[in-house]
Chain A
Amino acid sequence: MDAAPSHRTDNTQSGTPLLELSNITKEFPGCLANDQISFRIMPGEVHALLGENGAGKSTLVKIIYGVLKADEGRIAWLGKDVSIAGPSSARHMGIGMVFQHFSLFDSLTVLENIALAATDERDRTKLRDKVLEVSHSYGLPLDPDRHVHSLSVGERQRIEIVRCLLQNPKLLILDEPTSVLTPQEVERLFETLRQLAAEGCAILYISHKLEEVKALCETATILRGGKVVADCDPRVETARSMAEMMIGEKLQAPNRAGRDGESIHRLVVSHLSLQSEDQFGTDLDDVSFSVSSGEILGIAGIAGNGQTELMAVLTGESVVPDNMDAIVIDEQPIAHKGPKTRRSLGAAFVPEERNGHGAVPSMPLTENALLTAFRRMGLVRRGIIDGGKTRDFAEDIISQFDVRTSGSGSDAGSLSGGNLQKFVVGREIIQRPNVLVICQPTWGVDAGAASAIHQALLDLAANGAAVLVISQDLDEIFAICDRVAVISEGRLSDTRGIKSVTVDEIGLLMGGLHDLAGSDGTGQDAPALAEAGHD
């Protein structure tokens, strides 16, 4: 992939900036989300906004798009100070935004979805012509009459982009646009974005995928803890140097305790295939792997490639009635059994969604602690809840995992996401499971809590448990896992030792290449490598 298209004029250093932010500050209760942020975007510039989760990227973008109001600071648009009252005035000024979680209406048609955003054109027939024209000229094929719920994620993103383009934006904001796309879709998106930039539309590109930023963007502003920590040219930086600017320290693996003793296969999955129950889900196709005691296996992959289905079939929420040997926990075939049997064999699970799946938001922490632990921790005697013991258990979790709460009697829903995650993870780890399956262990969790959770997982493995981590976060996988496999379109790659693979190789696998280069697997298809859009 070229660093920058040659036909674009370099207009980033002269003239009036399209958008200039000065000292933008936004405070939420207990959190300074944006602290004196300043940067500028020139017309036609592709500008990256980088930062970890919680660095303040989303808040800043919402301020630019008028969804949130800044407490302090100035926004200048084409050299004039402006106050952006709301998304519709932002759109009037010429700011378009493609959201990370699409703001589409499933039960409406493509055309209706576009009509809702394109406030200038009320005549549906004319609007349809315009949509077809834009989708044709930017290579974004769309059928205006399809209902959104029947479209793929990539097609949905096209709707969002087309409806921004209809308003002839001067600035297009994209929030994590590629996290749900296949590599081919990413490449097509980048072509569209380059065409737009060449026509003079500035692009603010928010991502934490550094290779993509290198390929697409010509300037980058890096945020950490709500502050601008660096401005750089991604074309000359390396992914590693930008990552270090993002996290503010050298990248290093957490230290792992040495493990000894005999290693036994605790969780074995062999030839597991499963039709997804969800019409728009991913079918699992012949998935095999095993996790031994003392080991952490990571399963990487872009969301929506079968992780949800894999998680459900591992926890027992979906069962495989006709192939009980597909999942074996401590030599017991249990693929046909539900969660109760699996938990009584010493398995524990932490689902991705903590509110409503991992915990009941409207119930106090004590009762939430009881829900998964009552058998293993003996919290129920002859059908009667042992109140004192349950409370002690909940308070154990709270103190050992540093859960910030007013007490074990507070509702799970009153905890912040990170704190609830610590509670849910702690609840399972304290039970000393033989097998722990955990999905997105540090999703939306701040760095301190994330490292605490990572350390707890390492300690659990060091004590002889088999740990399976399903995560989209490659940094996390490289930090704690011993071996890694990649799930893509419901199929799982070969498992490889973490020391023998690079982030790039994993990245390629995530893009749908099913065997690593150099592995003794069944070889690889070279064209996919080019399509994956890497150098």
Chain B
Amino acid sequence: MDIFVQIVLTVITASTPLLFAASGELITEKSGVLNLGVEGMMLIGAITGFAVAISTGSATLAIFAAAIAGAAAAFIFGFLTLSLLANQVATGLALTIFGVGISALVGAAFVGVALEPLPKLAIPGISTLPVIGPIVFGQDIMVYGSFVLIAAIYWFLKHSHWGLVVRAVGESHDSAHALGYPVIAIRYMATIFGGAMCGLGGAYLSLAYTPMWAENMTAGRGWIALALVVFATWRPGRLLLGAYMFGGITILQLHAQGAGINVPSQFMSMLPYLATILVLVLISRDKVRIRLNAPNCIGQAFRPAH
């Protein structure tokens, strides 16, 4: 039983950063902006969160700082692509390279510094229950936050007026403009929100998953988050499933390797990628549904005719 709890706990910590980053990118893409800088924004969030946690000792401040840093990086992206109409793909790639570089530069002073991991919320009495206690009631604040986030995004896109506006802007910016919606402003907000969530995803890595700083510590999770958004066909529920599948198989194959299963480790390392993409493609292969959920104007610059 202990090993089961142990595995579930590590799955949750492995999945949470993906869930944050992918949720943010989902909103960004729904508004019609393709920000390929997820990896860079996660790294910026990771080093900011870590640096603030070390220097102030406050986890709360660290989390906020990471979100703000991610948002700031996204703002730069937004300014270049939305105001100056730079190419989104190229700018996003540049943002990733920028994020790798600046986080390494700032982080040079923090290599090898140890940090207390993010405290678990211990509710007296309940969190000591067997199995359910540690899994459901013994997580840190960001894990709960990631579930609140995905539920909020689902509700926002499906039921709120402004969620509808975000979808409309991503579907046809010209029509949204003709109806009088501020396309550029909405895209700025969606992009900045996406950046903030990527910052949180990064911060979770450096504050909770492995509470330390290492250069390029996201190790491609930003790209996985991007892929998850597409393979989940821009639907929050599937995003949750995809993030947890990826996290789950990553951990399971580690345990399998640890248990000495005689399969080359490279194959095992491939497994999460293969399985996640396969499952998401299979459950989302309905063409009409893809058409309905995919933002039509993604990656296109909007230039109002005046």
Contacts and interface: CB of A to CB of B under 8 A. Distances in A.
Interface of A: 66-69, 86-88, 91, 99, 102-108, 112, 115-117, 122, 124, 147, 149
Contacts of B176: 105, 116
Given A103-B175, A105-B175, A91 B168 contact: no
A107 B296 contact: yes
Contacts of A99: 178
Interface in B159-216: 159, 161, 164-165, 167-168, 171-172, 174-176, 178-181
A306 B186 CA distance: 39
B306 A107 contact: no
Contacts of B293: 107
Kindly list the 9 A-B residue pairs having the minimum CB-CB distance in the complex, ordered from nearest: A88-B180, A87-B180, A103-B175, A103-B178, A105-B171, A107-B292, A122-B161, A86-B180, A105-B168
A377 to B, nearest CB: 36
B291 A108 contact: no
Contact of B291 (A107, A112, A122): A107
B164 A149 contact: no
Contacts of B168: 105, 108, 112, 116
A106 B171 contact: yes
A112 B163 CA distance: 11
Nearest to A113: B168
6 contacts: A88-B179, A103-B179, A107-B294, A112-B164, A116-B181, A124-B159
Interface string B287-306: 00001111010000000001
B3 to A, nearest CB: 46
The B contact surface, by secondary structure, is helix
Nearest to A92: B180
A364 B164 CA distance: 41
Contacts of A108: 164, 167-168, 171
B292 A115 contact: no
A156 to B, nearest CB: 12
Interface in B113-170: 159, 161, 164-165, 167-168
Interface residues of B, number: 21
A106 B175 CA distance: 11
Interface of B: 159, 161, 164-165, 167-168, 171-172, 174-176, 178-181, 291-294, 296, 306
Contact of B172 (A86, A87, A88, A105): A105
A91 B181 CA distance: 13
A477 B99 CA distance: 61
A116 B179 contact: yes
Contacts of B178: 67, 87, 99, 103
The A contact surface, by secondary structure, is loop
A155 B289 CA distance: 22
B260 to A, nearest CB: 50
B306 A68 contact: yes
Nearest to B161: A122
A107 B171 contact: yes
Contacts of B294: 107
Contacts of B291: 107, 149
A117 B179 contact: yes
B33 to A, nearest CB: 17
Nearest to A122: B161
A89 to B, nearest CB: 8
B244 to A, nearest CB: 27
Contacts of B161: 115, 122
Given A69-B306, A87-B179, A112-B164, 14 more contacts: A99-B178, A103-B172, A105-B168, A105-B171, A105-B172, A106-B171, A107-B291, A107-B296, A108-B167, A115-B161, A116-B168, A116-B176, A116-B179, A116-B181
A147 B292 CA distance: 9
B164 to A, nearest CB: 6
A509 B31 CA distance: 44
A104 B176 CA distance: 9
A103 B179 CA distance: 8
Contacts of B174: 103
Contacts of A112: 164, 167-168
A108 B163 CA distance: 12
Contacts of A102: 175
Contacts of A87: 178-180
A116 B165 contact: yes
Nearest to B174: A103
